[in-house]
Amino acid sequence: MGSRTADDHRTAMQQALDLAKKSPPKPSNFRVGAILVKLDGDRYPTSAGGYTLECPGNTHAEECCLLKLAEHHCTTEEGLAEAMKSPHALYTTMEPCFKRLSGKLPCVERVLRQKSWIRQVYVGVQEPETFVGKNPGRQMLEESGIEVHHVAGLEEEILQVATAGHVSDCGS
């Protein structure tokens, strides 16, 4: 595995942020973008990308990445653990959720099901406590052997994009 520079990580996070901007602004979710990047070899090609509400249903960015990658490999999301042989990193503008108010599988659990090939997670910002409170997702990933890293430099823009469509308490 080659080594990536801070600029490489920022470029990948910018790609995820560009995807987040495609997500429709709504008061009930964060606009998040995510990409899966292959780690072996001299180049780091993106295997899949996704953003909040890209796929049908109440879908999160990480979920969309995995669903699209599964479709590409003619398998299910659950089948990716067997289909994927190369190590990957997940870049996501906001740390993966640990709880879904909709009752769907949280993104942390989705990543943990793929820990045989998702070895690293890079996040732009921590999840604000807006919907489900404090997110222990980073700790859950690290305790399962997945490296989690913060990519600095885009936090303000990520939060601005993520919260577009949220109702402000100012002036109420």
Assess whether 62 carries a catalytic annotation.
yes
Residue 43 predicted with pLDDT over 80: no
The residue annotated as part of the active site, out of 62, 63, 95, 127, is 62
- Domains of the chain are 6-145 (3.40.140.10)
pLDDT value at residue 170: 54
- SS3 sequence, the chain? CCCCCHHHHHHHHHHHHHHHCCCCCCCCCCCCEEEEEECCCCCCCEEEEEECCCCCCCCCHHHHHHHHHHHHCCCCCCCHHHHCCCCEEEEEEECCCCCCCCCCCCHHHHHHHCCCCEEEEEEEECCCCCCCCCCCHHHHHHHCCCEEEECCCCHHHHHHHHCCCCCCCCCC
Residue 115 predicted with pLDDT over 70: yes
The band of 105, judged by pLDDT with boundaries at 50, 70 and 90, is very high
The band of 54, judged by pLDDT with boundaries at 50, 70 and 90, is very high
The band of 42, judged by pLDDT with boundaries at 50, 70 and 90, is low
